[in-house]
Amino acid sequence: MRKILMAILAICMTTTLSSQAPVLLENSIYSTEVYFDFGIDTIRTDADSVLNDLVAFCENQAPFFIKITAHTDAVGSDENNHALSQRRAASVIEFLEAREMIADSMTVNVYGEKQPVAENDTDEGRQKNRRATVEVIKIKKMVPLEGEIVDEETGEGIEADVVVRTKDTQDSLKTDEKGRYNSLVPLGEVIGIDVWAKGYFLQSQMMRVKPGEKVEVNVELPPVKEGEKVDIQNLYFVGNEAILLKKSEPELPKILKFMQINDNIKIEIAGHINRPNSPPVDVESWDYNLSRRRALLVYNYLIDNGISKDRLTYNAYGNWEMRYPHATSEKEQSANRRVEIRVLDVKE
């Protein structure tokens, strides 16, 4: 199995992103530590619960394999400590097999005293070094993602910053001078792609990477111009509150980066609410104030994170500019319930 894993790593390092063959990458999904008494290789009583938790975690994880690394403190000879770490790894394997752990395989690395995590001149430090680390590893199939970032009006490629993210990872990239970029993405997972460029509005896309498809994502960026406006994407609030839903909190740093890259613009944060089939709300009303407070939330975040007040203002529009005055579907109501960026000035 060790030879197989080394072969997998070699594939990962040598496969080019233009190839459509899946690349296999290791992904650690669980890790725990087991500690041993001085000079002893048997599992301590307090390690039972640690390893039992690991066994329980693995019940629905197939396929996976276990990677064990075993260590000692620095007391004794190198030879004896190497042998002791081998026996400690064997004790962990015996424990897991006794509990019918069904892993595709188990791999072992033993280091004796060679990789301490603490100083060996105290009892506490030596205890930390008498350990075995147990990891649950899954192999992810990765495929190349390619794309081009272009000007929405001219179709020409743009040099841009691109972030490709999954639930667990984030890959920050820069396009070449023609706007091309590439990365690796996991089959079957949802990925997000965020794009920034000076002189352009931020764009984000979400997609699931499906087997058998060519993974190519091209993004058109609208130029930033005075008088233009764009919705802040994926900004959702608690009902009738100026409180962001948890899933929308990552959107604010994206707007901050947009303002940092486009340091020559002044914008208005515009808040809107959804009140279909209703007359325009009064500026003294609770509804109008809700649209103001939602815009203010974004405004305050940018100010608190270093954007000058000279470049920002905010305003409320209540239900005065609903896109769907007679909205019936949730999609239409969501379009009414929005916060916009409106460009007030662009300095050359």
User: Tens digits of per-residue pLDDT, 66-83?
Assistant: 999 999 999 999 999 999
Does the pLDDT at position 281 exceed 90?
yes
Asked whether the beta carbons of 156 and 150 are under 8 A apart, the reply is: yes
Q: Is 226-348 in the same CATH topology as 2-140?
A: yes
Q: What confidence score (pLDDT) does residue 168 get? A: 78
Q: What confidence score (pLDDT) does residue 4 get? A: 35
Other CB atoms within a 10 A radius of the CB of residue 250 amount to 14
Q: Please, what is the average pLDDT of the chain?
A: 90
Looking at residue 278, the DSSP 8-state letter turns out to be S
Does the pLDDT at position 24 exceed 80?
no
Q: What confidence score (pLDDT) does residue 317 get? A: 97
Does the pLDDT at position 348 exceed 70?
yes
**In sequence order, what are the beta bridge partners of 106?**
66
Higher pLDDT: 18 or 52? It is 52
Lookup result for tokens 């390893």: 51
Rounded to whole angstroms, the Cα distance separating 130 from 87 reads 12
Q: What confidence score (pLDDT) does residue 56 get? A: 93
Higher pLDDT: 257 or 19? It is 257
Instruction: For the domain made up of 2-140, give the CATH fold.
Output: 60s Ribosomal Protein L30; Chain: A; (3.30.1330)
For the segment 248-259, the average pLDDT, to the nearest whole number, is: 96
**In sequence order, what are the beta bridge partners of 25?**
140
- β strands within 117-202, DSSP E: 131-151, 161-165, 170-174, 180-186, 190-196
CATH 3.30.300.160 for domain 226-348, yes or no, is no
Lookup result for tokens 């276990």: 66
Lookup result for tokens 């495929």: 143
Grouping H, G, I as helix, E, B as strand and the rest as coil, residue 15 is coil
Rounded to whole angstroms, the Cα distance separating 262 from 19 reads 35
Q: What confidence score (pLDDT) does residue 62 get? A: 77
Mean pLDDT is highest, among 17-21, 152-156, 212-216, for: 152-156
User: Tens digits of per-residue pLDDT, 92-140?
Assistant: 999 999 998 888 888 999 999 999 999 999 999 999 999 999 999 988 8
Confidence grade of residue 36 (pLDDT, cut at 50, 70, 90)? very high
User: Tens digits of per-residue pLDDT, 135-182?
Assistant: 999 888 888 999 999 999 999 999 999 999 998 789 999 999 999 999
Q: What confidence score (pLDDT) does residue 334 get? A: 87
330-to-99, 122, 186, 335, 336 alpha-carbon distances in Å? 50, 63, 31, 9, 10
Show me where the domains of the chain are located.
2-140, 226-348
Percent of the chain with pLDDT over 70: 93
Q: Which helix (H) or strand (E) holds 35?
A: strand 23-35
Looking at residue 317, the DSSP 8-state letter turns out to be -
- The backbone torsions φ and ψ at residue 43, rounded to the nearest 5 degrees and listed phi first, read -70, 130
Higher pLDDT: 11 or 297? It is 297
Among 287, 235, 295, smallest CA distance to 269 is for 295
Does the pLDDT at position 22 exceed 90?
no
